[in-house]
């Protein structure tokens, strides 16, 4: 029975600590204006990177790996 009272007391402390953290978050403004920050990522403010006309049809050139650029012994 002593273990039961200990568990009830620990559960009460756990619930009170979660309530305290939630109270702090609400009172310090953690949940204020959550819609604005979520919609900022959807706005496209970056300008598209414009490539010169000569670059449009070109494929990427092969870049040799570090192993192939070392001299053979």
**pLDDT tens, residue by residue, 52-65:** 666 555 555 555 55
Tens-digit pLDDT profile for residues 36-51: 767 777 777 665 555 5
Assess whether pLDDT exceeds 60 at residue 5.
yes
pLDDT band of residue 29 (cuts 50, 70, 90) is: confident
How far is 57 from 41, CA to CA, in rounded Å? 31
What end-to-end distance do the CA atoms of the chain give, in Å? 79
């Amino acid at each position: 029975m002593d273990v039961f009272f200990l568990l009830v007391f620990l559960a009460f402390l756990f619930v009170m600590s979660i309530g305290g953290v939630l109270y702090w978050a609400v009172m310090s403004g953690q949940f204020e204006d959550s819609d604005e920050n979520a919609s900022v990522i959807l706005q496209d403010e970056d300008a598209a990177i414009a490539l010169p006309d000569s670059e449009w049809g070109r494929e990427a050139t092969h870049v040799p790996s570090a192993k192939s650029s070392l001299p053979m012994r």
